Amino acid sequence: MYLPKIEEFPQFSLERLLGTCFGTNHSESLKICILIDLPDLSLMHNHDFLNADGFSVQKYAHSVFLNDLVNGVSESLSFSDNGFFAFKTTGGSNLDPDDAVTNFAGDQLSLNGDIYPNYDIILAITDYSLTAPLTASAKIYNFRGATLHGVNDIILNSGLSVDYNVISKQSELFRQVLDQSENFEIDFEVFGTTSTLKIDCSQQSAQKSHGLCPLGKPDVANLPAGEVYFVPTSASGSFPFRFSDGTLAQMDVENGAIVNASLIRGDQQKVDDRNTQLKDDPATGIIGELGFGTQLLPFSGKDIQDEKILGTCHVATGRSDHLGGNLTPELFNSRLNASHDDILYAPPKTPEITVSEVRMLKNGQTIPILRNFQPTSYLLDQLSSEYPTEKFSVSAV
């Protein structure tokens, strides 16, 4: 796996990022705002969170993004207003937020009444992903936006510093390679034991996350961008899963959903709790996404960037409406379970788990596209026009 160094990327420029993602051909000034999440909205009053321990993402939102907007970027890109608001932390990936928001003065405002209808571009710089609910709201209120959860120094100076016109071309080339595949088979190995997850895609059109949100279309970019993804029509088999504490479990999949978890190593209670959740709210086990990274980036320790790295793959459970699927929050038995949770497979994230091979079934042919987190020679040949494939000359398999 080729991993570039930070020094290989240009210096971060908010003007370049926003100008590329949202365009510069605005006929009039557009209103832009930033949303952050805080566990206690009183921390937003006088921006008290800046003097509290933690809140690194929210501090980036203020010191980098808001600061640059206030100091010239808005004027150069015809953006105005520079709103900065906080909502209460959801506690889960892609959960719908409460409607209440607040500002520097401590005023109580409404997302649906004061923010979504009144801004043209909304940036959500948060701990937990807001992509699904923000995408749904963009379609209702006709705004554009981006979600940048988990921002850190590495992401700022690599994944957010690239030219998204180039990333869009790469993603489209990758998308064409995988487009209209019948299914994918993912082989896993953990401590010498192998398993396979088969994901059916039924020849659907592959989709891409490429970072561009052109004027005139309500949409939300997930930044850093750079992946090709599907909303599975079904899935079967099994796959290993790593909990945040390092506990490993095997997930059995039938008819497109996880039906049972069994302990491989670690805390049995974690596995028991997951089985209870699957029983009480089966929608939490539905496989809602299969994704492949398309970018050449360093690992950041945050899934938002690391799932975009070429050679990695991820599946996700739960909510899929923001991806074009039909699993919406009301189909869960509990609002608190209506999340979209990515399960990333990458060496730093899942060191005990090897994705030994990923195969694509397309046009009657079964074609390996990844082996041991490396693109195969077949895949590199297909991507050669947009990728510096000489960097993989030693490791391509």
Q: What is the pLDDT of residues 272-293, one digit of tens each?
A: 999 999 999 999 999 999 999 9
Res. 299: pLDDT tops 70: yes
- In angstroms, the Cα distances linking 67 to 82, 125, 136 are 10, 14, 28
Question: Where is pLDDT greater, at 38 or 24?
Answer: 38
Q: What is the pLDDT of residue 390?
A: 67
pLDDT at position 268 is 98
Q: What is the mean pLDDT of residues 113-130?
A: 97
pLDDT at 169 over 50: yes
Higher pLDDT, 154 or 388: 154
By the 8 A CB rule, do 65 and 125 touch?
Answer: yes
Indicate the helix (H) or strand (E) that contains 75.
helix 74-76
Task: Report pLDDT for 392.
Answer: 62
Can you tell me the mean pLDDT for 27-34? 90
From residue 124, alpha-carbon distances to 52, 177, 302, 320 in Å are 20, 32, 16, 19
Strands 374-375 and 365-371 turn out to be: antiparallel
Mean pLDDT in residue range 202-213: 96
Residues 188-200, mean pLDDT to the nearest whole number: 98
What is the arithmetic mean of pLDDT over 357-375?
Answer: 97
Given pLDDT bands bounded at 50, 70 and 90, which one contains residue 270?
very high
Q: At what angle do helices 164-178 and 14-22 cross, to 10 degrees?
A: 50
Q: Is the pLDDT of residue 46 over 70?
A: yes
Give me the pLDDT at residue 297, please.
Answer: 95
Contact 286, 256 (CB under 8 A): yes
**Residue 322 pLDDT greater than 70, yes or no:** yes
229-238 pLDDT, tens per residue?
Answer: 999 999 999 9
Q: How confident is the model at residue 216 (pLDDT cuts 50, 70, 90)?
A: confident
CA atoms within a 13 Å half-sphere pointing along the CA-CB vector of 308:
28
* pLDDT tier at 396, thresholds 50, 70, 90: very low
Instruction: Quote the mean pLDDT of the chain.
Output: 94
Question: What's the rounded Cα separation, in Å, for the pair 277 and 334?
Answer: 10
Residue 103 scores a pLDDT above 80: yes
What pLDDT score was predicted for residue 27? 73
pLDDT of residue 28: 81
- CA nearest to 196, candidates 137, 236, 255, 149: 236
Q: What is the pLDDT of residue 202?
A: 97
